[in-house]
Amino acid sequence: MTTQDEINRRRTFAIIAHPDAGKTTLTEKLLLFGGAIQSAGAVKSNKIKKSTTSDFMEIEKQRGISVSTSVMAFDYKNYKVNILDTPGHEDFAEDTYRTLSAVDSVIMVIDCVKGVEPQTRKLLEVCRMRNTPVIVFINKLDREGQNPFDLLDEIEKELKIKVCPLTWPIGIGKSFKGVYDLYNKSLNLFQGESKTKVEDTIEIKDLHSGEIEKHIGQDFSEQLRADVELLDGVYDKLDKEKYLKGQISPVFFGSAVNNFGIKELLDCFVEVAPSPKERETDKGIVKPEDPKFSGFIFKIHANLDPKHRDRIAFLRICSGKFERNKYYTLVRGKKELRFSNPTAFMAQQKSIIDEAFPGDVIGLYDAGNFKIGDTLTEGAEFNFKGIPSFSPELFRYVTNLDPMKTKQLQKGLEQLTDEGVAQLFTRKVDGRKIVGTVGALQFEVIQHRLKAEYNATASFDQINLYKALWISCPDKKKLEAFIQDRAAHIGIDKEERPVFLAESAWLLQMAQEKFPDIQFHVKSEF
């Protein structure tokens, strides 16, 4: 198979949703249908002992939520599918935003009971910024949810996207019979009391023939005919070009927990979703078919296996072919690196690979060389764009509760903040460490992981801080004068870049007015 064939068969996507919409369960069922796992785990269940494949961290199993993006790959119908399951919880949004820079398309899960939720809106905004194609999966049809037409209206109105339903539910909740596949003109029925098996798909060439009554009865048949007639009049047919430009979103209905509607989603997805796309760098566009290898680090995970203290950098390949044991250039610092055991993922399980192609996400064992946003190339000097750090929203002082474990705490803070889950600042005036995050739950996760993975105990104490903004100025003398004047409010980040620690919006405004030449940045990419 040529490199171009390998590129064409790649499908790399993220699953996004508001918490509890069923995102991780859908990931699990896609793996099941793709043959990657033999039995699906449960996110929350007292009876089922097996937890999900993608929620592998101890804190994820305890809480029943995803707190870290996990990567899974499998083959399906001659396609290579790479899934990135992202955290839905808003406290982990930054991890999700960065993950969206590493994918070519997205499946968005919406709970049919709750409809569009706040985090759904935020995530779709990020997709819109990048024109990422989106497929919508409306989940939990086995529950008493909203009318499907109302849901489609809400999605169009709230998310400002055009939709194109490709399957349509017959009944909902207790009366849920199955879905009609508008794309392939077939009927898929829910079977038996447990409603966990799908009967053989029944082909229905003509909805007006009497064939359909035999399966779902007269009332449901008449309702389905009326619904489909209305759908044909209101919604456009699927235009693949518009979908690839992010202008229209196919919609599927189903129930992930009951394995229902997943196969239709997967079959259509591999057919219409984009293969790896070109990427923007500071020196122009890089295309997947370019012969020389290039890729970028969008995530780092310390202690993926706590027993081995391994630190893995997640690399998205953008062009050329990655080969094991070949030297590549880390553009920042112009360092030559060779990787003897690059890995492919199934969440926490890893297997060593010899080669990988554009669209693939691989793991590189890292001895501390990488930072999020780093570019790796076959000698070319450019950097991929669009992987910034954002100014945190919440801040806490770090207090070491065990002076005997100072080194462990320092190492833990360095490595965990390298992952991008939080940022570490040091106050110039007294050297105190400040951790900044986008959500309160992050402090709990860091505290838990410091204890479990580094045997270090720390408390996170209140600090009166409104914003931490990176500062720059073309005139170095003016920047130095500002740093001297505001010494009590200056910190440095891990890259030794100066940061203005504003205690209030008023203080920030005063600094901006008094020093008009100083630029204040909410993103580290400036």
Please give the full DSSP string across 306-336, using - where no structure is assigned. Answer: TTTT-EEEEEEEEES-EETT-EEEETTTTEE
- Residue 299 pLDDT grade (very low, low, confident, very high; cuts 50, 70, 90): confident
Residue 382 covered by a domain: no
Asked if 166 and 107 sit in the same domain, the reply is: yes
Residue 280 covered by a domain: no
pLDDT top residue among 369 and 516: 516
User: CB 338: neighbour CB atoms within 10 A?
Assistant: 9
User: CB 216: neighbour CB atoms within 10 A?
Assistant: 19
Q: Reply yes or no on whether the pLDDT at 61 is more than 60.
A: no
Residue 416 covered by a domain: yes
Task: Return the bridge partners of 75, or none.
Answer: 80
| Count of domains observed in the chain | 3
Last residue of a domain, one of 323, 347, 377: 377
The dihedrals phi and psi of 305, each to the nearest 5 degrees, come to -120, 100
Asked if 178 and 298 sit in the same domain, the reply is: no
pLDDT at 200: 56
Of the candidate ranges 183-187, 311-315, 379-383, the one whose mean pLDDT is the lowest: 183-187
Dist CA 330 CA 98 (whole Å): 19
CB 340 within 8 A of CB 324: yes
Average pLDDT, the chain: 83
pLDDT at 106: 93
Please work out, in degrees rounded to the nearest 5, the angle formed at the alpha carbon of residue 259 by the alpha carbons of 253 and 261.
Answer: 25
Dist CA 232 CA 114 (whole Å): 26
pLDDT at 41: 43
The dihedrals phi and psi of 125, each to the nearest 5 degrees, come to -60, -40
pTM: 0.77
pLDDT at 70: 66
pLDDT at 348: 45
Last residue of a domain, one of 213, 243, 272: 272
pLDDT at 526: 55
Q: Reply yes or no on whether the pLDDT at 46 is more than 90.
A: no
Dist CA 378 CA 182 (whole Å): 47
pLDDT at 34: 72
CB 495 within 8 A of CB 425: no
pLDDT at 165: 94
pLDDT at 89: 43
Asked if 246 and 103 sit in the same domain, the reply is: yes
pLDDT at 295: 95
Residue 373 covered by a domain: yes
State pLDDT tens for residues 182-209: 877 878 776 644 444 554 567 776 777 7
Of the candidate ranges 102-111, 144-153, 363-372, 509-518, the one whose mean pLDDT is the lowest: 363-372
Dist CA 31 CA 115 (whole Å): 25
pLDDT top residue among 353 and 347: 353
- Residue 50 pLDDT grade (very low, low, confident, very high; cuts 50, 70, 90): very low
Asked if 339 and 470 sit in the same domain, the reply is: no
Asked if 230 and 82 sit in the same domain, the reply is: yes
| Residue range(s) defining the domain that contains residue 452 | 394-521
The dihedrals phi and psi of 220, each to the nearest 5 degrees, come to -65, -35
pLDDT at 304: 57
Asked if 267 and 293 sit in the same domain, the reply is: no
State pLDDT tens for residues 469-478: 999 999 999 9
pLDDT at 336: 94
CB 366 within 8 A of CB 300: yes
Residue 389 covered by a domain: no
Asked if 298 and 426 sit in the same domain, the reply is: no
The Cβ-side half-sphere exposure at 287, using a 13 Å CA radius, reads 6
> By percentage, how much of the chain surpasses pLDDT 70?
85
- Residue 349 pLDDT grade (very low, low, confident, very high; cuts 50, 70, 90): low
Host H or E run for residue 337: strand 335-338
- The two beta strands, 248-253 and 162-165, are parallel
Spell out the residues 6+ positions from residue 170 whose beta carbon is closer than 8 angstroms to its own.
176, 177, 178, 179, 180, 216, 220, 223, 224
Spell out the residues 6+ positions from residue 187 whose beta carbon is closer than 8 angstroms to its own.
178, 179, 180, 181, 201, 202, 203, 204, 212, 215, 216
Task: Return the bridge partners of 425, or none.
Answer: 434
pLDDT at 441: 78
Q: Reply yes or no on whether the pLDDT at 374 is more than 80.
A: yes
Q: Reply yes or no on whether the pLDDT at 328 is more than 90.
A: yes
Residue 508 maps to which CATH number?
3.30.70.3280
Asked if 224 and 298 sit in the same domain, the reply is: no
Asked if 122 and 260 sit in the same domain, the reply is: yes
State pLDDT tens for residues 78-98: 999 998 876 644 544 566 777
State pLDDT tens for residues 265-285: 898 899 999 999 999 999 999
Residue 212 covered by a domain: yes
Please give the full DSSP string across 117-164, using - where no structure is assigned. Answer: -HHHHHHHHHHHHTT--EEEEEE-TTS----HHHHHHHHHHHH--EEE
Last residue of a domain, one of 215, 246, 272: 272
Phi-psi sector, 261: left (phi>0), alpha (psi -120 to 50), beta: left
Residue 12 maps to which CATH number?
3.40.50.300
pLDDT at 203: 74
> By percentage, how much of the chain surpasses pLDDT 90?
42
Asked if 408 and 333 sit in the same domain, the reply is: no
Q: Cα separations (Å) of 477 from 10, 91, 347, 430, 474?
A: 51, 38, 49, 24, 9
Residue 281 covered by a domain: no
Asked if 108 and 257 sit in the same domain, the reply is: yes
Dist CA 510 CA 524 (whole Å): 22
Asked if 221 and 300 sit in the same domain, the reply is: no
Dist CA 422 CA 447 (whole Å): 12
Spell out the residues 6+ positions from residue 38 whose beta carbon is closer than 8 angstroms to its own.
none
Residue 110 covered by a domain: yes
Q: Reply yes or no on whether the pLDDT at 56 is more than 70.
A: no
Of the candidate ranges 32-36, 110-114, 520-524, the one whose mean pLDDT is the lowest: 32-36
- Residue 75 pLDDT grade (very low, low, confident, very high; cuts 50, 70, 90): confident
pLDDT top residue among 303 and 452: 452
